[in-house]
Structure 1
């Protein structure tokens, strides 16, 4: 497995998930649609491709159910098995506390 810095240097300008938009004046804005990128920003800090530890929060079906996914650092070579997903069916405050404790 390559270092996260090397991976970021390889994928920061060209990858499948990169979205480039025109911002104010002449500056362009870059977003990213990659999995495990909570803020959808194209930066090393929030990258789901380059970082070893990532977090995924998504809705799970009906109601207020939430899927919390965290990446396993030892399974980096096997992308299908690298995310540990758990479904939370609690009230919002308990889920927020559980997410904070897990991350």
Structure 2
């Protein structure tokens, strides 16, 4: 295998991998931090091939025999499955649904442009309405807006689970156990 040319410098952060390219006439710097104009983003397929077998978010569950299931704890993964389709690291367009403050649900989608600015990477919307209105808003953001229509079912499932977890159980008079003698 030929050596990697010195004009290519790789730099990976936890969730924003990038390939830094330097023009051949420039000197190679010791630091991988270059200006934004010199940075090119890495395709999602390459990122997935790099993080597919080993990353800090991977959780392997072993069942009976040789059957094993791979889960992922990475952010922006709706089903928490370790697959390219649901990966929050490898895809440019991701969807997140999380519980917010004061019985609300946070829907966040990543912006497709300006991926090199992590502070402004997410479009966040806070939903405090009843479940039907929140479901309609999620469908509008994910599927009807042509953002990621393949994640519509996963987003609605996550919304249902998050909404159910926010409900407070009603405390009332305890029922008597009538089976006692």
Match of 1:99 in 2: 138
Structure 1 segments of 4 or more deviating over 6 A?
Answer: none
Task: Flag the structure with more relative contact order, 1 or 2, with Cα contacts below 8 A and sequence separation at least 6.
Answer: 1
Q: 1:26 aligns with which of 55, 59, 66?
A: 66
Q: How do residues 43-62 of structure 1 correspond to structure 2 at under 5 angstroms?
A: 43-62=83-102
CA RMSD of aligned residues (A): 1.0
Q: CA deviation at 1:80?
A: 2.8
- Aligned partners of 1:75 and 1:25: how far apart in 2? 46
Q: SS at 1:73's partner residue?
A: coil
| Residues 1:68 and 2:107 are matched in the alignment | yes
Higher strand share: 1
Structure 2: distance between partners of 1:41 and 1:100 = 21
Partner Cα distance (2:120, 2:56) in 1: 21
2:50 maps to 10
Q: CA deviation at 1:53?
A: 0.3
Q: How many residues align?
A: 102
Distance apart, 1:4 and its partner CA: 0.8
Equivalent residue, structure 1, for 2:29: none
Q: Please, which runs of 5 or more residues in structure 2 have no aligned partner?
A: 1-40, 143-181
Structure 2 distance, partners of 1:34, 1:46, is: 10
Greater mean alpha carbon deviation, residues 45-54 or residues 69-78: 69-78
Question: Residues of 2 paired with 1:35 and 1:75: CA distance?
Answer: 19
1:35 matched to 2:35? The reply is no
Query: C-alpha displacement at 1:74, in angstroms?
Result: 0.7
What does residue range 69-84 of structure 1 map to in structure 2 within 5 Å? 69-84=108-123
